Structure 1
Amino acid sequence: MSKFTEFFARNKKKLLIGVGVFFSLLLIAVTAFLLNRERILKYAVAKVIQKVEAKYPATLKIGNAKFLDLNTVLVTDIALLPNDQPKLLQLDTVAATVSFRSLFLGRMVFKQFDVANGKITAFKQDSTDNFSFLYRKKATGETADSTAKKSNYGTLLNRLIETAFENVPDGVNFRNLGVVFKNDGRTIDMNLPTMLLEDGNIDARMTITTETVTNTMFVRGVIDPAKYLLSAKFYGDNQSGSIEVPYIQQKFGATMRFDTLSLSITDKVYKNDQLTIRGESSAHGLILNHPKIADENVTVQNGALKYVLTLGDHYYALEPESEVRINKAIFYPQMTYETRPNRKIGIKVDSPDIPANDLFGSLPPGLFDTFQGIKATGTFKYRMNFYVDMAQVDSLKFDSDLDAHNFQITDFGQNDLRKLNTEFTHTVYEKGKVVRTFPVGPSNPNFTPFNQIPDYLKYSILTAEDPRFFTHKGFHEGAFRHSLITNIKEGSFVRGGSTVSMQLVKNAFLTRKKTITRKVEEALIVWIIENLRLTSKQRMYEVYLNIIEWGPNVYGIKEAARFYFSKQPHELNLEESLFLASIVPKPKQYRTYFDAYGGLRAYPRYFFKLITGNMLKRGLISSSEHASVSPYVNLSGRAGSFIIPKPDTTHVQMMDTLELAPIDLLDF
């Protein structure tokens, strides 16, 4: 017989009594727990109400709470009513699983929630709303410091993020939840038939309706409140297809839709009253349409943004670690925006070495159509720097540089950028419609070769528009910088800063529609033509003078010479050349240049003086020619019959609007 058996035999009676006592105590404890759990539940409910109402200026109402089984509580008729504002939240039922450990400790910790038939109704009208109290501290006396922090969106956003993450339960199952947001007359209505959050995984189906758009979509994602991690992917169902972004049409006149959209917050740091958020977003099958961006749909198959965003007191920044990817092309953007004491804007863009084929292949359809199908070798690297203090606009900084290594085009694709070298057909567009089509070359009787165009005209236009045309490679940063300064001061687009190369490309290769991307496309075409020397400078200038507009349905120098002066181009004198140069920026407004007596107004007279002065300094005309310039031209051609005499209301201050190459006065 073993020692254990002997021990049990000797102490059997005592052991049986001990076991009986243990189970009796356990039974008493369970009985006491069952008898008192309702009391504990009522106490827990009261504590929740007390805590909520102590933290927020609101009333929390709970209709009834009871146990359904050993550890499941059913709470019904829950409402959250902000003070003096409409009801924010109404829930019919919430079934929650209670932690056993918390019950035995005399309190209740809920682990899982099943929420059915609820509605959140948020509204904002002007400066009044019924929800901002959730992320604003309860007023306990305003101080100068706390008042100042109201303008710190980093502080406000940090408080909102922390409030949201702190209240994420371990698990929740929403069924038939509605969310309505009314903002200054606009309504967003969201319905969630199902939304499951379990072990940090999010699985939901929702329908979002605005005044003009209804989207049905699925949401998949993960959330980790301890790490401030949130990642979600949105995509449409098989029936609805792509998802359209609401309110873009009403606010910006644009449409945007996508097949799949991913958003994430991967980290946040709040320090020294500044919030820094890291995250990523990406879109697949993104389609954007806006008349200022492009004249047709822009499609990006794969786009992504890795962002590091900082918000502070009147300070916002997209940090240097950020990255933008458009298909295979990668860029590193950096932006800063300060609103006090003065508005300051800074933008920087850099890129790694991008294979040429990756760059051209990444250009979205609908944008940069000139480069569709182009093939090339080598790599590109881009850098841009812009900074302006709005209190010191004249100190604006701007530089842009596109470097290439071993770059060569092996296939020009749909559009041959070498077409300027031979006769080609030119089409004139106005407001998106074709106005005229004509050949540019010897087969056109109106074509004027370079050597038959008078030097007076060549020099006048270059002095006014682009004095360094024959020496630069298509761009003049000084001119562009000055145009930015002028446009910022005027608060509108009054000056372009385009070189002759850019004006030529705009006319010869692109439509006349003024879109953001057309300007970028124009710059890239110029860069390729100039840097690969696809066309000589002389030929470029020759084509330019033969296709630019010079008045109503007047294109090219020969038509202009006949229309204004009934002459051939080589017969034009200095004053006539100066006049033609002066109307290049706005050719249809030539009639406003003359007063009631047929004399030139102050604007063109100042132009004559300025341009001839610069031409003299450069040795393009003699002192005697400069001294003999007359502030008078005789419109002996058909143009003269369209002049409508009006009283002269112009004055010398009109010089401020003169559209000249701005660095002319600094070149001599």
Structure 2
Amino acid sequence: MRKLNKKKIAVKALIILGVLIVAAIASFFAFRNMALQKAVEKASNKMSRDYNSAFTIKSAKFKGLSGIEMKGITIVPKNADTLLQVQEITTSINLSRMLTGDVQLGTLEMKTGYIQLVKNNAGWNFRSFLHAKKEDKEEASDSGDGYADRAYRLLTKVLNLVPTDMQVQDIALSVNDMGRRLNVNLQQLKLADEQLESTIKVTEDTISQTWKVKGMADPRGRIADLKFFNTDTSRIAVPYISNRFGIKSGFDAIHVNVKGIEMEGGELHVDGYASIENFMVNNKRIALKDVVIDNARFDYHLLFGDDFIALDSTSTVQLNKIKFNPYAKYSVAGDTIYELKAHIPKMPAQDFITSLPNGLFTNFEGMEAEGNFSYNLNFLFNKNKPNKLVFDSSIKRDGLKITKYGEANLAKLNGAFTYRAIDNGRAQRPVIVGSANPYYTPLDQISPFLRKAVLTSEDPSFFSHRGFITEAFRQSIIKNIKTKKFSRGGSTISMQLVKNVFLNRSKTLSRKLEEILLVYILENNRIASKERMLEVYFNIIEWGPDVYGIGEASSYYFDKAPSQLTLDECVYLASIIPSPKSFMYRFGEDGNLKSYAVRHNKYVRDIMLRRGLITPEDTIAQSGKITVTGRGRGRLRLNERSIFVADSVQIDDFFKNLSKQAF
């Protein structure tokens, strides 16, 4: 009897539970559209309140068990052009995930719409979306999560919003940046059974291309393998940045692979690789011609911890035949520290030369070498202790020897040659570096005071270094970081010589990289002696407007030979090397040096005294003042009458700052 009662109770309980479930399901279906409308209203209010934009949906309703259908979706920022308009979106949501507060899309269909980015005198029409709200920033900073947790949470949310099945048709992106127009039309995109394929039509000015994206994408497994290429055999031209920033670039194909995104031991690991074929870039800041990389690949292993973000040293970068291991780390454990390391393992020198990007190292084209080398870079910067910066760059040679020079024949320094300075892209008059030039001055006929003054000002350790001064580079980096601009270089006389004789004066990345490599070859293969390098340097550098070489300079300023220069005259000549065309602004209306220039020259003399380069007897009758007696005096008179004399105040400030940075 007792067992029978228990059975009846159990049956009644099951009936009641079933009724409740049915009632819950009925209630859900009865009120879910109302809840959806409330959600839309809430989103619309937030858009209006936080982003000053009108968000509207003409109709939104549930379709089937978990599907949602929306039509007429628009976002219009106040007093700006429509930002988004989509005709129809149908999607499904994982209900079990939604109950836990985790939105995960299952399917997505999107038809006919556009995103419109417009910039006018008032700014971009999406400007109100660019800045995070104060409460969002406070929530992020107060969460207590480390970089790993935050990155993992963000990646999870993004990937959950990528449906496993997707079809998109005729969605356009148009950009109008003050008349610069770009149209990108996503004609179709399909993701099914982890296979993605899309067709994209791109038009800009006279450019019209059709791009393809094809490959595997599994947002739930957090893996992907996609290739991006053109439908014909031409190179993809990257749009917009050419018109906007003057950077022309393109490529044949890009391959992106994500092997995994995993949380392990409190660290987030992101692994994969990316490669690019026939990449081209053209910009006046990079090089004077197209720079082309045939093949490049980056195998990455990213790590996110509680207090650091790092690119692990197991990552590799391959540039044609050049392969190296980079390491980078940003850490806030205690101090804020930036760390960078790079290691090129032992490789043939000829492979390195032939792997250099075409157009970036034109002076190396045709160069041949034998032997091997390896390279290491170690950089560490502590934001709270900037003066403790670590910078170490070293090359290990193994039978390295240049057997054939390229366009830059460094050996010509040992004989007579014709030098033509390049100024504003134009070749100047030819200057013969040799005895055929009446102004040419051998090193032993240049005043010892001038040699010592120039070395003191420009490169005190010239005779002991191999082209570079690591400490000078280190101090330059510290100075540039502190001032947040490139305010100090680290050029040695060797670098200035190579720049003048073999390179143009363009301020490009190409020129600077070529300068570094050519200086290394010149100094470490003993192609020319230090004495010969210094002699050529004195006879080619600019000492004034259209004044080249110390022979011309000595005559131009003082109407005498370089061997007859006084100590004060030598110190003055050394002081104008950084900006020789503006030498006249160092003088006042009376034709004498201004007080700051006199102080600067005395400072240099005092350094020379302390270093034992001159004796106290050498300074007798040397007051730091000079008188220009040569042809340059006419330039001083012209400057006194010039209507631009008022601007000399700014030039004075320039020279004062230059004298402060000189040592």
TM-score category, normalised to shorter length: 0.7 to 0.9
The amino acid of 2:659's aligned partner reads: L
The answer to which of 384-393 and 534-543 deviates more is: 384-393
Report what 1:228 is aligned to.
222
The answer to which of 530-539 and 404-413 deviates more is: 404-413
Q: 1:235-274 alignment to 2 at 5 Å?
A: 235-238=229-232, 241-249=234-242, 252-269=245-262
Q: Given the alignment, which residue of 173, 189, 213 partners 1:195?
A: 189
The answer as to whether partners of 1:287 and 1:299 remain within 8 angstroms in 2 is yes
Q: 1:326-345 alignment to 2 at 5 Å?
A: 326-337=319-330, 345=338
1:355 aligns with 2:356: no
- How far off its partner does 1:356 sit? 0.7
Q: In 2, distance between residues paired with 1:110 and 1:585?
A: 63
The amino acid of 2:459's aligned partner reads: D
The answer as to whether partners of 1:374 and 1:412 remain within 8 angstroms in 2 is yes
The answer to which of 596-605 and 367-376 deviates more is: 596-605
Change (3 A) 1:89 1:597: closer
The amino acid of 2:540's aligned partner reads: I
Q: 1:377-388 alignment to 2 at 5 Å?
A: 377-388=370-381
- How far off its partner does 1:234 sit? 1.0
SS at match of 2:600: helix
SS at match of 2:430: strand
- How far off its partner does 1:368 sit? 1.4
- How far off its partner does 1:443 sit? 2.3
1:176 aligns with 2:170: yes
TM-score by length of 2: 0.78
The answer as to whether partners of 2:272 and 2:299 remain within 8 angstroms in 1 is yes
The answer as to whether partners of 2:296 and 2:319 remain within 8 angstroms in 1 is yes
SS at match of 2:429: strand
Q: Given the alignment, which residue of 560, 572, 575 partners 1:567?
A: 560
Report what 2:100 is aligned to.
none
**Percentage identity across paired residues of the two chains:** 32
The answer as to whether partners of 1:41 and 1:66 remain within 8 angstroms in 2 is no
SS at match of 2:494: helix
Q: Given the alignment, which residue of 544, 565, 574 partners 1:581?
A: 574
1:117 aligns with 2:111: yes
Q: Give per-residue Cα distances to partners, 1:151-177, cap 9 Å, x unaligned.
A: 988766644532343244444444434
1:608 aligns with 2:607: no
- How far off its partner does 1:312 sit? 7.8
Change (3 A) 1:250 1:336: farther
SS at match of 1:352: strand
Q: Give per-residue Cα distances to partners, 1:392-432, cap 9 Å, x unaligned.
A: 44333322222221101122233322111111221210111
TM-score by length of 1: 0.77
The number of residue pairs the alignment matches comes to: 599
The amino acid of 1:217's aligned partner reads: W
Change (3 A) 1:160 1:209: farther
Q: In 1, distance between residues paired with 2:37 and 2:179?
A: 30
Change (3 A) 1:438 1:347: same
Report what 2:43 is aligned to.
57
The amino acid of 1:509's aligned partner reads: F
The amino acid of 1:203's aligned partner reads: E
1:657 aligns with 2:658: yes
Q: 1:365-380 alignment to 2 at 5 Å?
A: 365-380=358-373
SS at match of 2:475: helix
Report what 2:289 is aligned to.
296
Q: 1:221-620 alignment to 2 at 5 Å?
A: 221-238=215-232, 241-249=234-242, 252-269=245-262, 276-309=269-302, 317-337=310-330, 345-620=338-613
The amino acid of 1:593's aligned partner reads: R
Q: 1:66-85 alignment to 2 at 5 Å?
A: 78=71
Q: Give per-residue Cα distances to partners, 1:429-467, cap 9 Å, x unaligned.
A: 011111122321222222211221121111110111111
Change (3 A) 1:507 1:87: closer
Change (3 A) 1:613 1:270: same
Q: What is the RMSD of the two structures over their aligned residues, measured on CA atoms?
A: 4.4
The answer as to whether partners of 1:279 and 1:308 remain within 8 angstroms in 2 is yes
Change (3 A) 1:391 1:440: same
Report what 1:6 is aligned to.
none
Which consecutive residues of structure 2, in runs of 5 or more, have no partner in the other structure? 1-24, 45-55, 95-103, 118-123
Q: In 2, distance between residues paired with 1:81 and 1:159?
A: 28
The answer as to whether partners of 1:150 and 1:156 remain within 8 angstroms in 2 is no
The answer as to whether partners of 2:542 and 2:548 remain within 8 angstroms in 1 is yes
Q: Given the alignment, which residue of 210, 216, 232 partners 1:216?
A: 210
The answer as to whether partners of 2:73 and 2:87 remain within 8 angstroms in 1 is no
The answer as to whether partners of 1:275 and 1:310 remain within 8 angstroms in 2 is yes
Change (3 A) 1:387 1:658: farther
Q: In 1, distance between residues paired with 2:162 and 2:616?
A: 83
Q: Give per-residue Cα distances to partners, 1:455-485, cap 9 Å, x unaligned.
A: 1111110111111111111111122222333
Q: Give per-residue Cα distances to partners, 1:481-523, cap 9 Å, x unaligned.
A: 2233333344433332211101100001100111123112111
Q: Give per-residue Cα distances to partners, 1:119-151, cap 9 Å, x unaligned.
A: 364878566449x99xx9xx9x98955454599
Q: In 2, distance between residues paired with 1:281 and 1:265?
A: 9
The amino acid of 1:306's aligned partner reads: D
- How far off its partner does 1:91 sit? 5.2
The amino acid of 1:555's aligned partner reads: Y
SS at match of 2:371: strand
Report what 2:4 is aligned to.
none
The amino acid of 1:459's aligned partner reads: K
Q: In 2, distance between residues paired with 1:430 and 1:83?
A: 52
Q: Give per-residue Cα distances to partners, 1:365-389, cap 9 Å, x unaligned.
A: 1111111111111222222233334
Which consecutive residues of structure 1, in runs of 5 or more, have no partner in the other structure? 1-39, 68-72, 99-108, 663-668
Q: In 2, distance between residues paired with 1:95 and 1:291?
A: 47
SS at match of 2:201: strand
Q: In 2, distance between residues paired with 1:178 and 1:380?
A: 51
- How far off its partner does 1:191 sit? 2.3
Q: In 2, distance between residues paired with 1:90 and 1:652?
A: 58
The amino acid of 1:385's aligned partner reads: N
Report what 2:50 is aligned to.
none
SS at match of 1:560: helix
Change (3 A) 1:444 1:488: same
The answer as to whether partners of 1:253 and 1:290 remain within 8 angstroms in 2 is yes
Report what 1:17 is aligned to.
none
Q: In 2, distance between residues paired with 1:318 and 1:373?
A: 35
Change (3 A) 1:273 1:639: farther
The amino acid of 2:297's aligned partner reads: A
The answer to which of 314-323 and 82-91 deviates more is: 82-91
Q: In 1, distance between residues paired with 2:250 and 2:433?
A: 42
The answer as to whether partners of 2:182 and 2:239 remain within 8 angstroms in 1 is no
The answer to which of 175-184 and 551-560 deviates more is: 175-184
